[in-house]
Copies of this chain bind each other. A is one copy, B any other.
Amino acid sequence: MDVLVTGAAGFLGGRLVRSLLTRGTLAGPDGRQQPLSRITLLDVVEPAGFDDPRVRLVSGDIADPEVIRAALTPDTASVFHLAAVVSGQAEADLALGQRINFDATRSILDRARENRNRPRVVFTSSVAVFGGPLPETVVDGTTPTPQSSYGAQKLMGEILLTDYSRKGYVDGRALRMPTICVRPGVPNKAASSFASGIIREPLSDQEAVCPVPPATPLWVMSPDKAIAGLIHGHDIDGAGFGATRAINMPGLATSVEEMVDALRMVAGAGVAKRIRWEPDVAVMRIVSSWPGRFDAARAAALGFAADPDFESIVRAHVRDACAGGS
């Protein structure tokens, strides 16, 4: 079975590839687990650190249909489309965001529909599709009205994926991911970057800047649960999605304050003091437009799982960081 992962040089993409290689199988067109014969890793820079005969590397601009044509071959049975421009960057550069977050998605779908095997396409969407006046708890029936260009582009991708799935061109699944934390590495231009930074940096003896107030609610998911969710989202029967292929993933409703409390519990008060509170209006405006709490009933019914509490997320990060990897 031949699989394509876009954004494979990124944190989540790389972790997904390692999980797939270890696992060794995925659901084929008939729903039965089949061995992975090839995983193509696509990103703008060549993904490094994968020494496995099943791995094929392709690098290039994902918005270039020729690059997609090189990566997505007639044998490709499944696509995990993770490549994206993050929220802060998409807000600042509309053309770039549209090109990577929307046009590339369309290009992948147009290429995939040429395959006779009706590829499964797992698309990482985001809770950023929601915004504006929202209920205290977002439910599956809540209408997405994005208040960021990133959210708008992801929502358009969902609609396209659903239309192509309805027509039988692909078998799509758009998973609206919560804020993933704790991410390893360094801060990026995602408006949610701080959510990882305020845990990661203090644990590495570094100061972290928190641009939002302690009471800010966040809907989060650990990298472990995110990877498990992507694979589960791939393997389940697409017919179960119904009128839309987009689904709110189950997350953990927390707040910045609760996250810092969990950090204090795990690592001590001295560590938690390494957070400097420095409100940033631009970040606050984007983050406050995202909902902080969901009732993800549909996802639960489809077997997706959430993290139990934030302390376990911090402990898992400490475990990963000690293991020296991501």
- Indicate the member of A143, A144, A147 with the most B CB atoms within 10 Å: A143
Identical copies of this chain, number: 2
Interface of chain A: mostly helix, strand, loop or mixed: loop
Q: A324 on the interface (CB 8 Å rule)? A: no
B162 near A145 with CB under 8 A, answer yes
Q: A152 on the interface (CB 8 Å rule)? A: yes
B143 near A143 with CB under 8 A, answer yes
Q: In the complex, which residue of chain B has the Cβ closest to the Cβ of A144? A: B143
- Indicate the member of A132, A145, A147 with the most B CB atoms within 10 Å: A145
**Separation in Å of the A180 CB from the closest CB of chain B?**
24
A152 near B143 with CB under 8 A, answer no
A299 to B239, CA, bound (A): 35
Interface residues of A in 78-109 (CB under 8 A from B): 94
Determine the chain B residues whose CB is within 8 A of the CB of A160 once the complex forms.
Answer: 152, 156
Contact of A145 among B142, B146, B243 (CB under 8 A): B243
B159 near A152 with CB under 8 A, answer yes
A141 to B146, CA, bound (A): 14
Q: A242-B132, A242-B133 are in contact. Are A146 and B159 (CB under 8 A)?
A: yes
A-B contact pairs, 13 of them (CB 8 A): A94-B167, A131-B243, A132-B244, A133-B242, A133-B243, A142-B143, A143-B144, A145-B162, A145-B243, A145-B244, A146-B162, A149-B167, A159-B159
Interface residues of A in 227-251 (CB under 8 A from B): 242-244
Q: A122 on the interface (CB 8 Å rule)? A: no
A162 near B152 with CB under 8 A, answer yes
**Separation in Å of the A4 CB from the closest CB of chain B?**
22
